[in-house]
Amino acid sequence: MQEFNMYINGKPVQSGKTFEVINPATAKPFARCQLGDAAFVDQAVAAAKAAFPAWSKTPDEQRKQLLHQVAAAIEANMPELMELVTRETGKPMGGLNGIGSGMEVGGSAAWTHYTAELQLPVDVIQDNEVARIEVHRKPLGVVASITPWNWPLLIAIWHVIPALRAGNTVVMKPASFTPVSTLRFVQLAGDILPPGVINIVTGGGDVGNAITGHPDVRKVAFTGSTQTGKRIMTSAAKNLARCTLELGGNDAGIVLPDVNVKEVAPKLFGVCFHNNGQTCAALKRLYVHESQYEELGQAMAELAKKVKVGDGMEAGTELGPVQNLAQLEIVQDLAESARADGGRFLAGGKRMDRAGYFFEPTIVADLTDGSRLVDEEPFGPILPIIKYSDIDEVIERANRNECGLGGSIWSSDTRKAAELAQRLECGSAWVNDHGAVQPDAPFGGIKQSGMGVEFGLYGLEEFTSIQTLKIAK
Ligand code: NAD
């Protein structure tokens, strides 16, 4: 059993109480972590607050170089970090279309290098005989990062690296299902950064709540469920701490009748099923025109039956298990409700008969809006394919959902598709792609999918406040 400590003010910290981390491919524990509480949160926030003045005044070039060193440490420890990610999440080392632990760890290094290079320019909005007016971007202070279990390391990087780049210090709280790759990352980064700049406390929602409601936390970066996001916003409101909330999605993809079914089916299958559908911006409701409905449904079902499901540590595995038992039960419950609603199961439909939290890749036809499997985010390997006949009507149906993270249009006419994509009510719209993110393009949700954006200069600005400087002449 591997043991992991919390990390506060440049030192490993133990609480004396522990919890176990389960490998979802075996349903057996493989690691033990420290159970933190509000007292450890106080220590971590105090350390981050004490480190803030010096870190925020550290010359820009030096901060940038230190973050490149952090990225290099991720690269140097890639095999170990990949194995930790696979053991805690279940996701394959390689994975469907190369989306697995290798991408998560490699992406973490790439995002860190890219974000390290970002610059916050001073905006001069007036410079004449009357006055010079400059707009400066200032770091906020202590930033909290609270992360979910689906992409634990990559999402932690998305929060922490821009926060540090802008001159803030951080206190992190990973999901208790998947803390270990993040804990190992903090050890590595802690060897490079000054004490107190990066701190981590592990435990459940009570630890998260103690952080988000702490009077010395100036901003909360949260990725997770909509329900928890609302609790966090309420808690942060006590101190008017700012929030970036990246919450649940139930993204629609609309396939226009001009696609080549054989070409589009594998692409669609990938964006729906990679990481077993446990990605916030995976395609979760697939609307297909009636003229191609049967053909595309069958093509997707063939792929679902063929895809290699197994332990992510085994070479060639494309999909792993569902990450935890509670999520598996949500998927099972949605499959049952789809059956009761008259859904036609083109592939899969049940838990697999083996150890671990495996569920068959599942495709369900003949459901429509109003069925729970269509209206609710399953966050697992089950996809409803929904028939439509009229494009205006289907856009209206896609937009009726309370989530607004992403959406996509699939067509051989990209200009027409781009026009339609702009009518989708969501933070990211794709044409002939879905869920693809990159370090320089902003990403975030609207409606119940959250507020604020991550990535690039837009994302970096969210870790700053504006100071307007007016010099009268
Ligand atoms: P979750 O909301 O249950 O937990 C997320 C984190 O919040 C965990 O670390 C948890 O311990 C912590 N937490 C729980 N209660 C808290 C409280 N009261 N105060 C502070 N922290 C608290 O989410 P999850 O089940 O881990 O993740 C799955 C969800 O996340 C899905 O809905 C998915 O769509 C969403 N998600 C969104 C994005 C995005 O970028 N939009 C990315 C990944 C996941």
Is 280 an active-site residue?
A: yes
Q: Which two tokens stand for residue 222?
A: 């949260």
Cα separation, 143 vs 6, in Å, equals 17
Q: Beta-strand (E) ranges in 183-330?
A: 198-200, 217-223, 242-246, 251-255, 283-289
Those residues whose C-beta lies under 8 Å from the C-beta of residue 372, and which sit 6 or more positions away, are 334, 337, 338, 341
Is 246 an active-site residue?
A: yes
Query: Using an 8 Å Cβ cutoff, are 179 and 155 in contact?
Result: no
Q: Beta 242-246 vs 450-451: how paired, if at all?
A: antiparallel
Closest CA to 380 of 335, 315, 313: 335
Q: How confident is the model at residue 467 (pLDDT cuts 50, 70, 90)?
A: very high
**Looking at residue 64, what is its pLDDT?**
98
Please report the atom of ligand 1 found closest to the CA of residue 327.
Answer: 25
Residues having CB within 6 Å of any atom of ligand 1: 146-150, 173, 175-176, 204-205, 208-209, 212, 223-225, 228, 231-232, 246-249, 280, 377, 379, 405, 445, 450
Q: Which two tokens stand for residue 249?
A: 């999605």
Task: Dump pLDDT digits (tens) for 145-177.
Answer: 999 999 999 999 999 999 999 999 999 999 999
Task: Dump pLDDT digits (tens) for 308-344.
Answer: 999 999 999 999 999 999 999 999 999 999 999 999 9
Closest CA to 437 of 413, 412, 459, 418: 459
Cα separation, 203 vs 206, in Å, equals 7
Residue nearest to ligand 1 atom 12, measured at CA: 205
Q: Please state the pTM of the whole predicted model.
A: 0.97
The average pLDDT across 39-47 equals: 98
From 159, 171, 225, 451, the mutation candidate for ligand 1 (largest count of ligand atoms within 8 A of CB) is 225
Please report the atom of ligand 1 found closest to the CA of residue 203.
Answer: 11
Cα separation, 253 vs 268, in Å, equals 9
The average pLDDT across 448-454 equals: 98
Those residues whose C-beta lies under 8 Å from the C-beta of residue 62, and which sit 6 or more positions away, are none
Which DSSP state fits 274? Answer: G
Q: How far is the CA of 72 from the centre of ligand 1 (A)?
A: 28
What is each CA distance from 65 to 70, 108, 192, 223, 242, in whole angstroms?
9, 16, 10, 27, 28
Those residues whose C-beta lies under 8 Å from the C-beta of residue 336, and which sit 6 or more positions away, are none
From 21, 146, 171, 328, the mutation candidate for ligand 1 (largest count of ligand atoms within 8 A of CB) is 146
Cα separation, 201 vs 157, in Å, equals 16
Name the one residue in this structure whose structure tokens are 């036809």: 365
Task: Dump pLDDT digits (tens) for 176-212.
Answer: 999 999 999 999 999 999 999 999 999 999 999 999 9
**Looking at residue 266, what is its pLDDT?**
98
Q: How far is the CA of 332 from the centre of ligand 1 (A)?
A: 20
Task: Dump pLDDT digits (tens) for 206-255.
Answer: 999 999 999 999 999 999 999 999 999 999 999 999 999 999 999 999 99
**CA torsion angle 210 214 220 222 (round to 10):** 10
Q: How far is the CA of 265 from the centre of ligand 1 (A)?
A: 31
Longest Cα separation, the chain: 78
Cα separation, 451 vs 442, in Å, equals 12
Amino acid code (one letter) for 329:
E
Amino acid code (one letter) for 370:
G
From 183, 217, 228, 246, the mutation candidate for ligand 1 (largest count of ligand atoms within 8 A of CB) is 228
The average pLDDT across 41-67 equals: 98
